Chains A and B, each alone.
Chain A
Amino acid sequence: MGRSVLLIEDEPNIIEAISFLLERDGWTVRLHTEGEGAVEAVAAASPDVVVLDVMLPGRSGFDILKELRQGAARPDLPVLMLTARGQTKDRELAHSYGVSCFMTKPFSNAQMLQTVRDLAEGRAPPADP
């Protein structure tokens, strides 16, 4: 299939879980573990879907999202945002920046997989879980 995901996340165990889940489904998972250089990593990897954590060392996920949307290269690049803070205002903020889907941790593996698939195929995910 050759579909690829760029995972921007700093928690080792979560990285391992998501990688295992997506690779088993045949995705190529590329990794970036901090806020700095995330935008460049997206440009370099040119993934089908970006999975982006909010709380990153160095730079917040919101900033990265904002820059991704402002850079005209791929304005419709699907971005799945993950947060452990789970506050309503975070969700609103993410949507105002143009996030494709906003998901709170912990998530179910099935839901995560389905959402990434939907985003890659241009389908709208069922609404934010």
Chain B
Amino acid sequence: MVTFNILVTVAVAYVVALFVIAFYADRSARRGGNKWLRSPLTYTLSLSVYCTAWTFYGAVGNAARSGLEYLTIYLGPTLVFFAFWVLLRKLVRIGRAERITSIADLISSRFGKSTGLAVLVTSLAVMGTTPYIALQLQSVALSFAAFAPEGGDVNATALWVAAGLALFTILFGTRNLDANERHHGVVTAIAVEAVVKLVALLAVGMFVVWGVSGGLSDTLQIIESSPVAEWQPDAGRWVGMTFLSAAAVICLPRMFQVMVVENEDERHLTVASWAFPLYLLLISLFVLPIAAVGLAVLPEGANPDLFVVTLPLALDQEMLAMLAFLGGFSSATSMVIVAAIALSTMVSNHIVLPLWLSLQGPRATVSGDVRGVMILSRRLSIGAVLALGYAYFRVTGGTAALASIGLVSFAGVAQIMPALLGGLYWRGATRRGALAGLIVGFAVWGYTLFVPAIGLLPATIMEAGPLGLAWLRPQALFGMTGVDPLVHSIFWSIALNSVAFLAVSLVTFPSPIERLQSAAFVHVFERGGGGAGYVGGVAETEDLLVMAQRLLGAREAQALFQGAAAEQGKTGYLPDPSPEFVALLERELAGSVGAATAHAMVRQIDGNASVSVQDLLAVADESAQMLEYSSQLEAKSKELEQTARQLRDANEKLTALSVQKDDFLSQISHELRTPMTSIRSFSEFLMEGGMKAADRVRYSNIIHDESIRLTRLLDDLLDLSFLESGQVVLNAQVTALDALLERAVSSAGVGGLAVTRAPGGEGVMLRTDSDRLSQVFINLISNAQKYCDAETPELVISVRRSGDQVDIDFVDNGSGIPRDQESLIFEKFSRLSDHSSAGSAGLGLAICREVMARLGGTVHYVPGQGGAAFRVSLPLEPEMVAV
């Protein structure tokens, strides 16, 4: 008697054997591989992942319940591989050329690398595959239970199986992340599993035919007399299910994975086109006999879905039963493993990574640990896919919902079909069209099949339609009654899907990248080079030149090409299309159309695609015209604007300068002519002679004073012009501020002004040009002498250190400077009109300001100090602006 424990041991041993096979296959593939790894046989056998536990166990159950209908599941793929293998070859070719990683990637890539489409197809695939994984877990758990009813909890078994498969898939499904996404170990293990399940089913079948029935003719008799033969095929269901299985073999994520992604060599497909249908024939050969004999031999009410195991068991053939169990086990595990790899690739590439990248911001791709993130996200996705399958199993396990969900899943995944076929054969198919078709098909499928199948719709809606609208009844859409619900749903979902796809494609326009991709997909066979990927080479330089001219402008493109030709030692405009030159061209083009488009365009021509060039040029023309027009306009308006601004600026400056110059000349004229007037007048008096001696002395003095005033004015003017032109030479030396102030007070000659030094700031040492600084002090003291209008004029000089800076304040007790003139006093000749002149030329404060700027300090008028207050500020270690 086989106990549960023995069964577990066998199952674990089987999985360990798979591990070993996968491990060695992986290793040998990395070392260059051996031949049978890359043989068409392995490829064909790996395709048998199509036959899951659902076909292994379920086909017999199906035959027991519905007669020959189970054959449709094999008919569809057979039809595809025999009749439409050209379509498969196109898929494989595109998959290799475009480095496609999944069916979602294929659809997204064809329609302009659309993220929305990728997410939609991924969701569809997850929704269609999860119930299927649950089904596998259930069949394994049930087969355990059939063997050893005492073997405890079905749920626990399923959990262990799910966890083990997750581990296996993570180990062998995420080892290498190279561009090809191929998993040699996994594929080899799957091929071995294909053999196991075929041998198991054949063995059981032979045992049934020759061991139980006693030969072929007896078996046929049993079939004749069993209820199996009484089933009348329903034409609608036959057509519908054949179509479904045909669509599924192309669109199922796991089929796409083994058929396209894992494909080593396009020629393998030639072998598979007859070998895979043969495999399907063999595996379906004994289904009917097993079903008929099972119904005849086993007691009433036995689950036909488990006949493959229970029949040998009932006849005490434990080893055979064990083999059958392993066959079912391998069917389930191979499906789950490949499906998990396929789904995790999609989830990770199209949902997790884009999210992660957008969360990381632009530095993500630079930091370089994308690879680690990718592997982690793959592993998490595999875990999540299996967890989802297990959860689904726990929720719906054992119900009819799960048993019938296989076909429901097929119908869901089949919604990809119109977009896929359209994308492969119709240039006019657009992204919006594909989106519309998928969404419509998905919605109709959900409403008419998926939701009713899991029993979510209330009976009133099922019978009377939503809001009592009978034509919207989920299983009798638009009044189509009396049809099988599955067929009804397939019909409407695919029909409406296709109509939406076609209609929206016709009224929308493809973007440039879509046009490029549609050319690449539809004309994949016209590109030469059988699936070897990108072959840089026979570029038509002239084509490149034509294209470049449209994008860059004729003169720039010709210059670029001529320069490149010259560098290659050639004359003329056509350099050899060396990789360097092509790369250079790509960079130049990228500037006008973006890197991706530039790359695609150059590659298209480089790959020698005669038809696509026309399409490319159309793209180039469009964008070139727009680019040129807008950039010309932009350049012109910018140029005009700039010129206008320059003119305006220059004009304003000239006007300001002219006004300033007139004012200045006028002021100088006044300041020079005034003393000269006195000098001329009095000297004429003196020349006349005959005046009183006292007058003569007096007038001579006036002449003398006015001459000095003139000289000082000229000195100041000269000084100021030196300061302003930056030609001043400064002599920095360390000076005591105290001494400097004292010297300034004494050389200013205080006159009637009482000068006091407030305490503070003693011992401050400055490193500066002391002559210049003292000039500033003298000017400020002289100003107080001239303008302080107090009866007893006083000036207080105070020094205060604040931080690295020293402030020297000169505050008198006069009436100060009116507020509205504070801002003017440092301008040249700004002698305030209210004061009767005492001979100043009004240049003193202007000079002070210039000197302080040169010394790295400032001089300001400080309002609100009672009298006129000036503050000289200077850093202790100033940066002098000497030239």
**Residues of chain A whose beta carbon lies under 8 Å from any beta carbon of chain B:** 10-11, 13-14, 16-18, 20-21, 33-34, 55, 57-58, 84-87, 104-110
8 additional A-B residue pairs with CB within 8 Å, beyond A13-B675, A21-B681: A11-B678, A17-B681, A34-B836, A84-B670, A86-B673, A87-B666, A105-B674, A107-B677
Least Cβ distance of A104 to chain B in Å?
A: 7
Contacts A11-B674, A84-B673, A105-B674 given: A16-B702 contact, CB under 8 Å? Answer: yes
**Chain A residues whose C-beta falls within 8 Å of the C-beta of B684 in the assembled complex:** 108-110
Give CA–CA (A113, B172) in the complex, Å.
122
In chain B, what residue has the closest Cβ to A59? B833
> With A17-B681, A20-B685, A58-B834 known to touch, is A105 a contact of B676 (CB < 8 Å)?
yes
- A17 B677 Cβ-Cβ under 8 A: yes
Which one of B662, B671, B681, B836 contacts A14 once the chains associate, using CB atoms below 8 Å? B681
Q: List 10 A-B contacts (CB under 8 A).
A: A13-B702, A16-B678, A17-B678, A17-B681, A21-B681, A84-B670, A86-B673, A87-B662, A105-B677, A106-B677
Chain A residues whose C-beta falls within 8 Å of the C-beta of B679 in the assembled complex? 106
A64 to chain B, nearest CB (A): 14
Interface mask (B668-707 → A, CB under 8 Å = 1, otherwise 0): 0111111111111110110000000001000000100010
Interface residues of B in 822-840 (CB under 8 A from A): 833-837
Report whether B677 and A14 are in contact in the complex, using a CB–CB cutoff of 8 Å: yes
Closest to A58 in B: B833
Q: Is the CB of B670 within 8 A of A13?
A: no
Tell me, in angstroms, the Cα distance from A95 to B676 when the chains sit together. Answer: 25
Q: Which 8 pairs across A and B sit closest by C-beta, in order of nearness?
A: A84-B673, A17-B681, A13-B678, A105-B677, A106-B677, A106-B680, A84-B670, A109-B684
A17 to chain B: which residues have CB within 8 Å? 677-678, 681-682, 685
Q: How far is the CA of A33 from the CA of B835 in the complex (A)?
A: 12
* Chain A residues near B836 (CB-CB < 8 A): 10, 33-34, 57
B681 contacts A106, C-beta separation under 8 Å: yes
Q: Are A55 and B670 in contact (CB under 8 A)?
A: yes
In residues 684-739 of chain B, which contact A (Cβ within 8 Å)?
684-685, 695, 702, 706
Cα A71 to Cα B169 in complex, Å, equals 113
C-alpha gap A58/B675 in the complex (Å): 21
- Cα-based distance from A41 to B411 in the complex (angstroms): 115
Q: Whose C-beta in chain B lies nearest to the C-beta of A86?
A: B669
Q: Check if B681 sits within 8 Å of A109, measured CB to CB.
A: yes
Q: How far is the CB of A16 from chain B (nearest CB, A)?
A: 7
Contact B669 A57 (CB under 8 A): no
Contacts known (A21-B681, A106-B681); A11 close to B673, Cβ less than 8 A: no
Query: What's the minimum C-beta distance from B679 to chain A, rounded to whole angstroms?
Result: 7
| A104 contacts across to B, CB distance below 8 A | 673
Residues in chain A near residue B702, CB distance under 8 A: 13, 16
Cα of A108 to Cα of B688 in the assembled complex, Å: 13
Q: In the complex, what distance in Å separates the CA atom of A84 from the CA atom of B679?
A: 14
Q: Which residues of B contact A (CB under 8 A)?
A: 662, 666, 669-682, 684-685, 695, 702, 706, 833-837
Q: Check A85–B670 contact: CB distance below 8 A.
A: yes
Asked whether, in the complex, the Cβ of B678 is within 8 Å of the Cβ of A57, the reply is no
Q: Are A57 and B706 in contact (CB under 8 A)?
A: no
Residue ID in chain B nearest A105 by CB atoms: B677
* Least CB separation from B676: chain A residue: A106
Which has the most chain B C-beta neighbours within 10 Å: A13, A33, A104, A105?
A13
**Which residues of B sit under 8 angstroms from A13, Cβ to Cβ?**
675, 678, 682, 702, 706
- Contacts A57-B834, A58-B834, A108-B684 given; does A14 touch B678 at CB 8 Å: yes
Minimal beta-carbon separation of B763 from chain A (angstroms): 44
Q: Which residues of B have CB within 8 Å of A14?
A: 674, 677-678, 681
With A13-B702, A17-B682 in contact, do A106 and B837 touch (Cβ < 8 Å)?
A: no
For the complex, give the distance between the alpha carbons of A14 and B682 in Å. Answer: 9
Chain A residues in 8 Å Cβ range of B680: 106-108
Choose among B662, B675, B677, B680 the residue with the greatest number of A CB atoms under 10 Å from its CB: B677
Q: Which of A14, A17, A20, A108 has most B Cβ within 10 Å?
A: A17
Closest to B698 in A: A16
Kindly list chain B residues whose C-beta atoms are within 8 Å of the C-beta of A33: 836
The CA of A20 and the CA of B683, in the complex, are separated in Å by 13
With A and B bound together, what is the CA distance between A57 and B702 in angstroms?
Answer: 22
List A contacts of B662 (CB < 8 A): 87
Please report the C-alpha to C-alpha distance between residue A116 and residue B537 in the assembled complex, in whole angstroms.
105
Q: Which of A21, A85, A110 contacts B669 (CB 8 A)?
A: A85
C-alpha spacing A16/B706, complex, angstroms: 13
Q: How far is the CA of A107 from the CA of B695 in the complex (A)?
A: 21
Q: Which residue of B lies closest to A20 (CB)?
A: B685
A104 CA / B669 CA spacing, docked (Å): 11
Question: In angstroms, how far is the closest chain A Cβ from the Cβ of B192?
Answer: 110
- Taking the nearest CB of chain B, how far is it from the CB of A120, in angstroms? 20
Cβ-closest chain A residue relative to B680: A106
Nearest-Cβ distance from residue A25 to partner chain B, whole angstroms = 13
Tell me, rounded to whole Å, the shortest Cβ–Cβ distance linking B410 to chain A.
101
Contacts of A58 in B (CB 8 A): 833-834
A57 to B836, CA, bound (A): 7
B833 cross-chain contacts in A, Cβ below 8 A: 57-58
B832 to chain A minimum Cβ distance, whole angstroms, is: 9
Residue of A nearest to B675 (CB): A13
Contact assessment for A87 and B669 in the assembled complex, using a CB-CB cutoff below 8 Å: yes
Partner of A84, one of B677, B706, B835: B677
Question: Within the complex, what minimum Cβ distance (angstroms) separates B190 from chain A?
Answer: 104
Minimal Cβ-Cβ distance residue in B for A53: B674
Give CA–CA (A59, B677) in the complex, Å. Answer: 22
Report the Cα distance A80→B679, complex, angstroms.
21
The answer for the CA separation of A58 and B669 in the assembled complex, in Å, is 20
Report the separation of the CA atoms of residues A33 and B684 in the bound assembly, to the nearest whole angstrom. 24
Contacts of A11 in B (CB 8 A): 674, 677-678, 837
Which of chain B's residues have a CB closer than 8 A to the CB of A16? 678, 702
Q: Is the CB of B677 within 8 A of A10?
A: no
Complex CA–CA separation, A23 to B318 (angstroms): 155
Q: How far is the CA of A6 from the CA of B670 in the complex (A)?
A: 22
In the complex, what residues of B have CB within 8 A of residue A106's CB? 673, 676-677, 679-681
Contact residues in A for B695 (Cβ distance below 8 Å): 20
Q: How far is the CB of B520 from chain A (nearest CB, A)?
A: 80
Across the interface, name the chain A residue whose C-beta is closest to B705: A13
A22: min CB distance to chain B, Å: 12
Q: Is the CB of B685 within 8 A of A109?
A: yes
B706: A residues at CB distance < 8 A: 13
A17 to B666, CA, bound (A): 24
In the complex formed, the residue of B with least CB distance to A90 is B666
A105 contacts B673, CB within 8 Å? yes
Contacts of B673 on A, CB cut-off 8 Å? 84-86, 104-106
Q: How far is the CA of A73 from the CA of B678 in the complex (A)?
A: 34
In the assembled complex, how far is the CB of residue A52 from the closest CB belonging to chain B, in whole angstroms? 15
Alpha-carbon gap, A110 to B834, bound state (A) = 33
Q: Are B837 and A10 in contact (CB under 8 A)?
A: yes
Q: Which chain A residue has the least Cβ–Cβ distance from B673?
A: A84
Chain A residues with Cβ below 8 Å from B681 are 14, 17-18, 21, 106-107, 109
Between A21, A85, A106, the greatest number of chain B beta carbons within 10 A of the residue's beta carbon is seen for A106
A76 vs B675: C-alpha distance in the bound complex, in angstroms? 32
A12 to B613, CA, bound (A): 96
Q: How far is the CA of A21 from the CA of B835 in the complex (A)?
A: 27
Whose C-beta in chain A lies nearest to the C-beta of B688? A109
Q: Which residues of A contact B666 (CB under 8 A)?
A: 85, 87
Q: Nearest Cβ distance between residue A32 and chain B, in whole angstroms?
A: 13
Q: Name the CB-closest residue of B to A104.
A: B673
- List B contacts of A10 (CB < 8 A): 836-837
A84 to B680, CA, bound (A): 13
The complex places the Cα of A34 from the Cα of B837 at a distance, in Å, of: 11
CA–CA, A58 and B836, complex, Å = 10
In the complex, which residues of chain B have a beta carbon less than 8 angstroms from the beta carbon of A105?
673-674, 676-677
CB of A24, distance to nearest CB on chain B (Å): 9
Alpha-carbon separation in the docked complex, A109 to B685 (Å): 8
| Chain B proximity of A109: nearest CB distance (Å) | 5
- Which residues from A are CB-within-8-Å of B834? 57-58
* Cα–Cα distance between A11 and B662 once the two chains are bound (Å): 23
| Nearest CB of chain B from residue A11's CB, rounded to whole Å | 6
